[in-house]
């Protein structure tokens, strides 16, 4: 079925995916396209009912500011411009944008004049979320101003004859009080009947899969995570268990008890699962490796070795297709995250897999869905609640949560003297002599984490996160900030040691034990579903010569993993987790809480 659609031209940043997932939740299929590569002809199809110009991090004055084919404005379709899209709209059609100096960030009071239909059932005054420096000075002919904020006299405008709507605010963020209402009104103005839902996707996917797979059989690697399990369940339901073979690889890098848990829940849905016990193989291949990308690559190659060995032994020939649980954000090379592939190598796009993709031998049945939609599909397929709502877990597993080092060294903390002022440097933190990955301005950074030994100001996660952002913005060499939650050493930090180590079975077991404490407490304290993901990370460092490793807790709130904030759990939770981890294992020198949002930190540490 050819669904009615809204196209979002992705001018960068994280906004486009957020807009698309909001619109889909309102029952209309939304798809993302790249402005530079999209022409008016591409958008001419009748099924495309409206166009949204997304926000983006750039200024319209930048040399390489994203542009699109302005003939799209002559298609006669409703268009909604948001933030950068609002300014682009004005500039493209003959208005004027003025470069700003101070900007308007976060909460703002918006007043609308009651005339523009995009504000139907929106009060005269409401809170909107702003994030801009430049502002529209004059709109294009045909537009009239319909909304203002105290800082921005050109916050909203519309052209009634062409159904063009232009808003400086971000309607897609939940902080904009009536943002969803405004999007709903736009869909009405586009004449959308709301013909999209996960149920309909399922019905259509059934037909598509039968056609695509033909008389072939399908195998897939199941990680036990939501995406691959839902893919497995969907394929099993549509093709029958005898044509779908799931391979679950015990890489030795899974969480405690995970192998039996995954086997049990997948067998409960009647699917054909084979567990390949390959922990020794993976850990042997990883021996001696310390570089994050090399580890990832080794894990990816080991997966393929295991797969090929499986084919040899089981006589599966080339007539089998490979299925993967790739989801929508992984498949879209969006405007603002064009470098995403370089930020981290994605498992589902390893070179060998890419060869199979190019040969048409890969099917990715949930590639059009967002995570929340994959979960809804999982529920529709009758998967157990606990499985559907499991936290996402990376393909390389604990392999990316165990940091390694190729050298031993100690750093004694002495007061450093500033070379210019000759005064002792006063820093509110301790800098760790290791590096972790971050993402700043869409580029991968590899910089030092900081440790705060106390909370500056009020003891709230919010405050801590804000302080962390300020600190990272201020110190170039820092891209992550943590708080010291608990320690096994006495006194203040006077020495930090880094231990030469790789990914050994002992270290895996150490992390598994700490991770198991966190998972159990999350369940016991009814907090598991209060965070989106909760990596527990092992660092090869220790303080004041006590213990040999450090644990980091990394709870995050997110919608799609592309941006994240610190998970808002209680201090009681963090204190209990730190206390238990330290009591259980005297080798743990300290427990840290990662209080960095994404950006500037990534969710995982490497
Ligand atoms: P980052 O660390 O980039 O992670 O903020 C975003 C999301 O992706 C997961 N992740 C991975 N998943 N292979 C995967 O299958 C990987 O190499 C990988 N690295 C990160 C991460 O857990 C988070 O949900």
Q: For the chain, what percent of residues have pLDDT higher than 90? A: 70
Distance 223 CA to ligand 1 centre (A): 14
pLDDT (0 to 100) of residue 415 = 64
Residues 92-115 have a mean pLDDT of: 91
Closest protein CA for atom 12 of ligand 1? 394
The verdict on 17 and 61 lying in the same domain is yes
Closest protein CA for atom 7 of ligand 1? 561
The verdict on 377 and 428 lying in the same domain is no
Look at residue 438 and tell me whether its pLDDT is greater than 90: no
| 587-598 pLDDT, tens digit each | 999 999 999 998
Cα separation, 17 vs 31, whole angstroms: 9
Q: Which of 561, 566, 601, 605 maximizes ligand 1 atoms within 8 Å of its Cβ, making it the mutation to test the pocket?
A: 561
pLDDT (0 to 100) of residue 422 = 61
The verdict on 30 and 52 lying in the same domain is yes
Q: Are 159 and 142 in contact (CB under 8 A)?
A: yes
Bridge-based pairing of strands 549-553 and 536-539 is antiparallel
State the pLDDT confidence band at 443, using cuts at 50, 70 and 90.
Answer: low
Cis? peptide before 232, omega within 30° of 0:
no
Q: Which of 331, 374, 394 maximizes ligand 1 atoms within 8 Å of its Cβ, making it the mutation to test the pocket?
A: 394
Per-chain mean pLDDT for the chain = 91
The verdict on 27 and 159 lying in the same domain is yes
pLDDT (0 to 100) of residue 357 = 83
User: What CATH number is given to the structural domain containing 79?
Assistant: 3.40.50.880
| 315-365 pLDDT, tens digit each | 777 788 999 998 887 766 544 444 333 434 556 666 667 778 888 889 999
Domain boundary among 189, 217, 250: 189
Which residues face 565 on adjacent strands? 557
How many beta carbons lie within 10 A of that of residue 246, not counting itself? 25
Buried b (16+ CB within 10 A) or exposed e, 148-163: bbebbebbbbbbeebb
Closest protein CA for atom 11 of ligand 1? 394
Look at residue 537 and tell me whether its pLDDT is greater than 60: yes
State the pLDDT confidence band at 138, using cuts at 50, 70 and 90.
Answer: very high
pLDDT (0 to 100) of residue 282 = 98
- In this prediction the pTM is 0.80
Look at residue 144 and tell me whether its pLDDT is greater than 80: yes
Atom number, ligand 1, closest to the C-alpha of residue 535: 22
Closest protein CA for atom 3 of ligand 1? 602
The CA-to-CA distance between both ends of the chain, in Å, stands at 42
Residue 132: closest CA among 169, 158, 165, 166: 169
Give, in order, the Cα–Cα distances in Å from 513 to each of 3, 45, 521, 582: 48, 55, 13, 11
The verdict on 381 and 427 lying in the same domain is no
pLDDT (0 to 100) of residue 15 = 81
| 173-194 pLDDT, tens digit each | 878 899 999 999 999 999 999 9
Residue with the bigger pLDDT between 308 and 336: it is: 308
The verdict on 494 and 512 lying in the same domain is yes
Atom number, ligand 1, closest to the C-alpha of residue 348: 15
State the pLDDT confidence band at 101, using cuts at 50, 70 and 90.
Answer: confident
| 575-586 pLDDT, tens digit each | 999 999 999 999
User: What CATH number is given to the structural domain containing 329?
Assistant: 3.40.50.620
Q: Which range marks the domain in which residue 580 is found?
A: 409-594
Distance 604 CA to ligand 1 centre (A): 6
- Asked which of 432-446, 457-471, 511-525 is least confident by mean pLDDT, the reply is 432-446
User: What CATH number is given to the structural domain containing 496?
Assistant: 3.30.300.10
Distance 300 CA to ligand 1 centre (A): 14
Look at residue 566 and tell me whether its pLDDT is greater than 90: yes
pLDDT (0 to 100) of residue 369 = 92
Residues 360-376 have a mean pLDDT of: 92
Distance 444 CA to ligand 1 centre (A): 13
- Asked which of 114-118, 171-175, 299-303 is least confident by mean pLDDT, the reply is 171-175
3-class state of residue 130 by DSSP: strand
The verdict on 471 and 356 lying in the same domain is no
DSSP state of 229: H
pLDDT (0 to 100) of residue 606 = 93
Closest protein CA for atom 19 of ligand 1? 394
Structure tokens at 558: 């997110």
Residues 149-168 have a mean pLDDT of: 97
Look at residue 423 and tell me whether its pLDDT is greater than 80: no
The verdict on 31 and 173 lying in the same domain is yes
The verdict on 435 and 564 lying in the same domain is yes
pLDDT (0 to 100) of residue 334 = 45
The verdict on 344 and 425 lying in the same domain is no
- Give the active site residues: 83, 170, 172
Q: Are 147 and 117 in contact (CB under 8 A)?
A: no
Atom number, ligand 1, closest to the C-alpha of residue 347: 13
Residues 98-113 have a mean pLDDT of: 88
Residues 505-511 have a mean pLDDT of: 98
Distance 112 CA to ligand 1 centre (A): 41
Distance 394 CA to ligand 1 centre (A): 5
The verdict on 384 and 419 lying in the same domain is no
Atom number, ligand 1, closest to the C-alpha of residue 598: 5
Atom number, ligand 1, closest to the C-alpha of residue 296: 17
Q: Which residues contact 92 (CB under 8 A, 6 or more apart)?
A: 70, 73, 140
The verdict on 391 and 416 lying in the same domain is no
Domain boundary among 189, 208, 223: 189
**CB-based pocket (< 6 A), ligand 1:** 296, 344, 346-347, 392, 394-396, 400, 533, 561, 598, 602-604
pLDDT (0 to 100) of residue 425 = 66
Distance 535 CA to ligand 1 centre (A): 10
Q: Are 404 and 503 in contact (CB under 8 A)?
A: yes
Query: DSSP letters of 201-226?
Result: HHHHHHHHHHHHHTT-EEEEEE-SSH
Q: Which of 327, 566, 604 maximizes ligand 1 atoms within 8 Å of its Cβ, making it the mutation to test the pocket?
A: 604
Determine, yes or no, domain membership for 51. yes
What's the alpha-carbon Rg for the chain, to the nearest Å?
26
């Amino acid at each position: 079925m050819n669904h009615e659609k809204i196209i979002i031209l992705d001018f960068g940043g994280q906004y486009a995916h957020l807009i698309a997932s909001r619109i889909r939740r309102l029952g209309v299929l939304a798809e993302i396209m790249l402005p530079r590569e999209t022409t008016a002809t591409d958008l001419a199809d009748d099924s495309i009912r409206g166009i949204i110009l997304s926000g983006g991090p750039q200024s319209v004055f930048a040399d390489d500011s994203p542009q699109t084919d302005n003939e799209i404005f002559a298609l006669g379709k409703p268009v909604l411009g948001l933030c950068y899209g609002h300014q682009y709209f004005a500039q493209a059609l003959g208005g004027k944008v003025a470069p700003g100096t101070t900007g308007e960030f976060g909460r703002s009071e918006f007043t609308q004049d009651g005339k523009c239909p995009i504000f139907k059932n929106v009060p005269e005054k409401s809170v909107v979320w702003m994030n801009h420096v430049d502002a529209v000075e004059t709109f294009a002919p045909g537009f009239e101003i319909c909304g203002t904020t105290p800082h921005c006299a050109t916050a909203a405008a519309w052209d009634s004859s062409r159904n063009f709507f232009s808003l400086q605010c971000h309607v897609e963020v939940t902080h904009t009080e009536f943002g969803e209402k405004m999007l709903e009104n736009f869909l009405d103005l586009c004449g959308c009947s709301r013909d999209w839902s996960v149920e309909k996707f399922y019905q259509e996917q059934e037909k598509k899969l039968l056609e695509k797979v033909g008389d072939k059989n399908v195998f897939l690697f199941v990680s036990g995570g939501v995406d691959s399990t839902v893919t497995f369940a969907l394929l099993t339901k549509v093709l029958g268990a005898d044509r779908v073979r799931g391979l679950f690889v015990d890489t030795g890098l899974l969480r405690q008890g995970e192998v039996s848990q995954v086997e049990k829940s997948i067998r409960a849905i009647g699917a054909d699962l084979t567990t390949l016990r390959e922990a020794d193989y993976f850990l042997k291949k990883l021996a001696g490796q310390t570089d994050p990308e090399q580890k990832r690559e080794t894990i990816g190659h080991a997966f393929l070795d295991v797969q090929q060995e499986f084919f040899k032994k089981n006589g599966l020939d080339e007539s089998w297709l490979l299925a993967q649980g790739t989801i929508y954000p992984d498949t879209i090379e969006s405007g603002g995250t064009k470098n995403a592939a370089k930020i981290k190598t994605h498992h589902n796009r390893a070179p060998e897999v890419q060869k199979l993709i190019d040969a048409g031998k890969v099917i990715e049945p949930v590639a059009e869905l967002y995570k929340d939609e994959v979960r809804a599909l999982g529920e529709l397929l009758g998967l157990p609640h606990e499985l559907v709502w499991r936290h996402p877990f990376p393909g390389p597993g604990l392999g990316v949560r165990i940091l390694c080092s190729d050298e031993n060294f100690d750093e004694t903390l002495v007061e450093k003297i500033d070379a210019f002022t000759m005064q002792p440097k006063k820093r509110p933190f301790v800098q760790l002599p290791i590096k972790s990955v971050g993402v700043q301005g869409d580029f991968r950074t590899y910089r030092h984490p900081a440790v705060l030994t106390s909370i500056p100001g009020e003891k709230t996660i919010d405050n801590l996160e804000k302080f962390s952002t300020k600190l990272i913005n201020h110190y170039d060499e820092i891209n992550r900030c943590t708080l010291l939650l608990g320690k096994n050493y006495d006194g203040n930090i006077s020495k930090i040691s880094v231990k030469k180590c790789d990914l050994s079975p002992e270290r895996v077991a150490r992390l598994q034990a700490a991770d198991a404490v966190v998972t159990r407490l999350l369940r016991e304290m009814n907090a598991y579903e209060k965070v989106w993901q909760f990596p527990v990370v092992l660092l090869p460092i220790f303080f004041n010569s006590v213990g040999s490793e450090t644990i980091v807790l990394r709870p995050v709130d997110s919608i799609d993993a592309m941006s994240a904030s610190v998970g808002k759990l209680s201090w009681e939770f963090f204190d209990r987790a730190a206390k238990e981890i330290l009591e259980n294992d005297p080798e743990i020198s300290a427990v840290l809480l990662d209080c960095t949002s994404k950006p500037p930190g990534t969710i995982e540490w490497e």
